Homo-oligomer: A and B are copies of this chain.
């Protein structure tokens, strides 16, 4: 649950908030649902009217919520002050004892949850929270891997997390061993490989090769690159190494950022959608355009449809009306 004052006010200026439900994996799921894909979200939320509201929020997007677990703990929340121009956004989390943080493997029936599933997506936020979230995710990943599902990984490394005792490198190494697609940049590869590569394309390819050597199931590496002129003006491009080809997209110039939260998740969702339908380059282009469009929506969710992403890919960026 994300709570933030309207516009780019600070909490001290406000007495009204807007709320959304989000979270990196949910954002990916909702974006895919908006593409018309069948998505099941596996999580644990509170068993109160806040949790009911979250449930309704997921149903609204036609997300499959049958594997959602409810618990007596409150729903995790974060407070957001949206920045502007050279003022960064501020986030304050209240999730350390949330329903999701206190999940444990006994609470999820992975066998049922993954039935008929073909693709499994996870991010590095989940294993970074608690032993319980790590263990639960590991169980799921094991089963997904065993069932031969594609496993996309977005191991977003964020210091400030990983407080419960696990060593990020070791934990991520185990989880990546079940993965087939790596979504992340030099930072994440350095963290996992213990290397200190730079961010040039050459080093990106080099690091990707090392990564694929260490994790032989990983066949493709995708990296989204953001250039921030300031908090209100970004540029987005992506690059990839799939073992054979390197490719880099053009920049999308996002001159008036509406909301940057969830843009990485929109990229991941674009990839997951695209890789099931297109070749790698087209999938990455689709993902970049999806990511760019996400910057134009308030909230964590990418509302763009497949049609809307394609229209942008065809070069229609002038924002004419759809009547």
Contact = CB atoms under 8 A, between A and B. Distances in A.
A276 interface: no
A116 interface: no
Contacts of A88: 311, 316, 318-322
User: Assembly of this chain: how many copies?
Assistant: 6
Interface in A107-140: none
B296 A92 contact: no
A295 to B, nearest CB: 7
A298 interface: yes
A298 B85 contact: no
A17 interface: yes
A255 B83 CA distance: 13
A302 to B, nearest CB: 11
Nearest to A57: B60
Interface in A285-300: 292-293, 295-299
A7 B296 CA distance: 11
B8 A53 contact: no
A317 B230 contact: yes
A53 B296 contact: no
Contacts of A255: 85, 229-230, 232-233
Contacts of A252: 86
A93 B48 CA distance: 10
Nearest to A55: B62
Interface string A47-85: 011101100110111100000000000110101010111
Interface string A302-323: 0110001001100011111111
B321 A90 contact: yes
Interface of A: 3, 6-20, 46, 48-50, 52-53, 56-57, 59-62, 74-75, 77, 79, 81, 83-94, 96-97, 158, 160, 228-233, 252-258, 292-293, 295-299, 303-304, 308, 311-312, 316-323
Given A86-B292, A228-B318, 11 more contacts: A12-B56, A17-B17, A59-B61, A77-B77, A83-B296, A86-B296, A86-B317, A87-B319, A88-B319, A90-B322, A228-B319
Lowest 8 A-B CB distances belong to which pairs? A231-B319, A228-B318, A74-B94, A60-B60, A87-B296, A48-B92, A84-B296, A11-B53
